[in-house]
Amino acid sequence: MYRVSPFVRHFAISLVLGVIVATLWVNTGPDSYYDFIEWRLFDLSMPGWISPITASITPASLTSHVMMPFFMFFVGKELWEAVTLERGALSGAQALVPLGGVIGALLGAALLWVATGAAIEVAEEASFGVGWQVPLGSDVVLCYLFGRRVFGSGHPALHLLLLVTISCDFIGLFLLGLSYPRGGLLSLAWLALPIAASGLVWLLYGRFGRSHSPERKHQRAMQLWPYAVAGLLSYLGIAAAGLPPALGFLPVIPAIPSAARAFGLFAEAEQLLNDPLNRLTHLMTRPLAVVLFLFGLTRGGIDLGAYAPTTLTLLAAFWVGKPLGFLAGCALAAKALHRPMPAGISQSDLAIVALLLGVGFTVPVLAIDTSLPGGAMAEAARLGIGLGIAFGALGLVLARFLRK
Q: What is the pLDDT of residues 241-254, one digit of tens each?
A: 888 888 999 999 99
Average pLDDT over residues 265-269: 68
- Predicted local confidence at residue 231, as pLDDT: 95
Q: Which CATH architecture has domain 7-403?
A: Up-down Bundle (1.20)
Is the pLDDT assigned to residue 54 strictly greater than 90? no
Is the pLDDT assigned to residue 36 strictly greater than 90? yes
- Predicted local confidence at residue 264, as pLDDT: 64
Higher pLDDT residue, 351 or 210? Answer: 351
- Predicted local confidence at residue 183, as pLDDT: 60
Highest mean pLDDT among 39-53, 162-176, 253-267: 162-176
Q: Average the pLDDT over each of 3-12, 127-136, 348-357 and give the range with the smallest value.
A: 3-12
Average pLDDT over residues 106-117: 94
Is the pLDDT assigned to residue 257 strictly greater than 80? yes
- Predicted local confidence at residue 107, as pLDDT: 96
Average pLDDT over residues 305-327: 92
Confidence grade of residue 45 (pLDDT, cut at 50, 70, 90): low
Is the pLDDT assigned to residue 51 strictly greater than 60? no
Confidence grade of residue 295 (pLDDT, cut at 50, 70, 90): very high
Classify residue 186 by burial, with Cβ atoms within 10 Å: 0-12, 13-18, 19+.
Answer: exposed
Q: What is the pTM of this model?
A: 0.88
- Predicted local confidence at residue 186, as pLDDT: 62
Residue 294 CB: number of other CB atoms within 10 A? 20
- Predicted local confidence at residue 43, as pLDDT: 72
Confidence grade of residue 158 (pLDDT, cut at 50, 70, 90): confident
- Which sequence spans correspond to the domains of the chain? 7-403
Q: Tell me the pLDDT tens digit for each residue of 342-377.
A: 777 888 888 888 988 888 898 999 899 888 887 788
Q: How far apart are CA 226 and CA 220, in angstroms?
A: 9
Q: Which residues have a Cβ under 8 Å from the Cβ of 105 and sit 6 or more positions away?
A: 164, 168, 322, 323, 325, 326, 329, 354, 357
Q: How far apart are CA 342 and CA 224, in angstroms?
A: 35
Cβ pair 157, 349 in contact under 8 A: yes
Cβ pair 245, 63 in contact under 8 A: no
Backbone angles phi, psi at 241, to 5 degrees: -75, -10
Report in angstroms the alpha-carbon separations of 268 from 4, 80, 133, 278.
Answer: 6, 17, 34, 12
Is the pLDDT assigned to residue 199 strictly greater than 80? yes
Residue 262 one-letter amino acid: A
Q: Which residues have a Cβ under 8 Å from the Cβ of 232 and sit 6 or more positions away?
A: none
- Predicted local confidence at residue 404, as pLDDT: 62
Residue percentage of the chain with pLDDT more than 90: 37
- Predicted local confidence at residue 185, as pLDDT: 59
Is the pLDDT assigned to residue 78 strictly greater than 80? yes
Confidence grade of residue 18 (pLDDT, cut at 50, 70, 90): very high
- Predicted local confidence at residue 187, as pLDDT: 74
- Predicted local confidence at residue 180, as pLDDT: 73
Q: Average the pLDDT over each of 57-61, 132-136, 266-270 and give the range with the smallest value.
A: 266-270
Q: How far apart are CA 172 and CA 106, in angstroms?
A: 8
- Predicted local confidence at residue 70, as pLDDT: 95
End-to-end CA distance of the chain: 22
Confidence grade of residue 3 (pLDDT, cut at 50, 70, 90): low
Q: Average the pLDDT over each of 134-148, 171-185, 262-276 and give the range with the smallest value.
A: 262-276
Average pLDDT over all residues of the chain: 85
- Predicted local confidence at residue 9, as pLDDT: 82
Is the pLDDT assigned to residue 274 strictly greater than 70? yes
Average pLDDT over residues 82-96: 70
Backbone angles phi, psi at 58, to 5 degrees: -120, 165
- Predicted local confidence at residue 244, as pLDDT: 86
- Per-residue 3-state assignment (H helix, E strand, C coil) for the chain: CCCECCHHHHHHHHHHHHHHHHHHHHHHCHHHHHHHHCCCCEEEECCCCCCCCEEEECHHHHHHHHHHHHHHHHHHHHHHHHHHCECCCCCHHHHHHHHHHHHHHHHHHHHHHHHHHHHHCCCCCCCCCCCCCCCCCCCHHHHHHHHHHHHCCCCHHHHHHHHHHHHHHHHHHHHHHHHCCCCCHHHHHHHHHHHHHHHHHHHHCHHHCCCCCCHHHHHHHCCCHHHHHHHHHHHHHHHHCCCCHHHCCHHHHHHCCCCCECCCCCEHHHHHCCCHHHHHHHHHHHHHHHHHHHHHHHHCCCCCCCCCHHHHHHHHHHHHHHHHHHHHHHHHHHHHHCCCCCCCCCHHHHHHHHHHCCCCCHHHHHHHHHHCCCCHHHHHHHHHHHHHHHHHHHHHHHHHHHHC
Average pLDDT over residues 226-246: 90
β-sheet bridge partners, residue 55: 44
Q: Look at strands 42-45 and 54-57 and give their pairing.
A: antiparallel
- Predicted local confidence at residue 262, as pLDDT: 67
Average pLDDT over residues 273-280: 86
